[in-house]
Amino acid sequence: MDRFIIRGGRRLSGEIEIGGAKNSGLKLMVAGLLTSERLRLSNVPKIADIQTMRDLLLRLGISVDEVDERTFSIGGDIASIEAPYDIVSKMRASILVLGPLLARAREAKVSLPGGCAIGTRPVDMHLKGLEALGAEIRLENGYINARAPNGLKGDRVILPFASVGATENLLMASTLAKGRTEIVNAAREPEITDLVNCLNAMGANITGAGSGTLVIEGVEALHGADYAVMPDRIECGTYACAAAITQGDLLLIGGQADSLGSVIRTLNETGVDVTEEQRGLRVRCSTKLRGIDIMTEPYPGFPTDMQAQFMAMLSVAEGASMITETIFENRFMHVPELNRMGARINPHGRSAIIRGVEKLSGAPVMATDLRASFSLILAGLVAEGETELSRIYHLDRGYEGVDRKLAACGADIARVHE
């Protein structure tokens, strides 16, 4: 099992290219289920989760041809309606094949999902929404068995919570439903807008992207399209934290300020300077970080996927900070590992009090989930001595070439193969 060895104390300076968005690329690949024609996706990130989704689509009979290392051509006839446990258990995003399979094949058998252990994340909203569109659903032996023998029918679906996954599943399913569908209290994340734009390029009729209500007029069929995956705002925010915690200066090529509003505002509050340039975002920090309070919220609020990275930053900031996690109930698993490195973090239910310390110390630590993995890298970049980070397969699920990108900007980091 691979691990990272990090020797801290080096200021980062240089350029880092931001790849395609993991949280968009996965869903756009699934959109390929909605047509037999070819969906050509470019700027696809080269990460483990993308390969898992490719394996799942292949299992369903959809061909996924690699045009080049960042471009896939997806399409074909559905040969199987079963998304099996051995693939779905690796990644929660696999649940998103449910809606497209129902819409196009009129039946689906999808294993209940797995993924990072950061909370229960039930699929109830997905299932109730699909039932509102006319699906018949049974849960049996760990599988979702769904049928719509007469096809799906448009309806008004009100989500009790602005769930990204439920919004995406219902959005894709309703593109081929008969009539008009309204998704009320829909998630507003930029990745939803990216999916809407891709589906519309494929012939869907969707309005309301970026708002809390999506309106979909069902069409008879979708067709192929060429589409580029948006840059990854979470990767961009993560490397911005790397610049901040090391008092560095990084140009994040391809970074987009409009998708990072709350993250940039929060960085500014800690004393970090973020400016837009022609090629991306420049992030500089020349002063001691300041402690602040943060609450995670659905977009356009502060993203839960940036919480762990900011916690590492604030562990070496002046004064006290508090982070409140409102999205997932079990997303402080990185706290004990950061405390092993000398941080002073006290969790209280859904909040954590962080008292900034002068320095962190290198230690053997273990990654617990995707974003927590990078929080420990950030801590290792400023810690005295050597940090050994194990279980980095979590990191490989969502970040490409971390050691290469950081080392090119001055970090002392190496991947050790075992």
CATH 1.10.1040.10, domain 2-19+231-417, yes or no: no
What are the sequence ranges of the domains in the chain? 2-19+231-417, 22-228
Confidence of residue 331 (pLDDT cuts 50, 70, 90): confident
- Per CATH, the architecture of 22-228 is what? Alpha-beta prism (3.65)
What is the model's pLDDT at position 372? 87
What is the model's pLDDT at position 92? 83
Question: Which letter does DSSP use for residue 112 in this model?
Answer: P
> pLDDT tens, 283-324?
999 999 999 999 999 999 999 999 999 999 999 999 999 999
> pLDDT tens, 179-204?
999 999 999 999 999 999 999 999 99
> pLDDT tens, 235-244?
999 999 999 9
Structure tokens at 115: 């993924």
Q: 89-93, 140-144, 361-365 — which is least confidently predicted?
A: 89-93
The long-range contacts involving 90-94, CB below 8 angstroms and separated by at least 24 positions, are 90/52, 90/114, 90/115, 91/26, 91/49, 91/52, 91/53, 91/115, 91/397, 92/116, 92/121, 92/165, 93/26, 93/27, 93/30, 93/49, 93/53, 93/165, 94/52, 94/53, 94/56
* Maximum pairwise Cα distance, the chain: 65
The catalytic residue among 116, 198, 241, 409 is 116
Cα–Cα dist 386/388, whole Å: 7
> pLDDT tens, 214-225?
999 999 999 999
Does 23 belong to an annotated binding site?
yes
What is the model's pLDDT at position 24? 98
What is the model's pLDDT at position 179? 98
Higher-confidence residue: 1 or 175? Answer: 175
Does 22 belong to an annotated binding site?
yes
Averaged pLDDT of the chain: 95
Contacts of 285 (CB under 8 A, 6+ apart): 243, 244, 245, 246, 247, 248, 249, 271, 272, 273
Does 305 belong to an annotated binding site?
yes
Whole-model pTM: value is: 0.95
Alpha-helical segments (H) within 133-189: 164-174
What is the model's pLDDT at position 114? 53
Does 169 belong to an annotated binding site?
no
Cα–Cα dist 174/324, whole Å: 35
Is 116 assigned a catalytic role? Answer: yes
The long-range contacts involving 63-70, CB below 8 angstroms and separated by at least 24 positions, are 64/29, 64/32, 67/40, 70/20, 70/42, 70/43, 70/44, 70/45, 70/46
Contacts of 164 (CB under 8 A, 6+ apart): 23, 187, 189, 191, 192
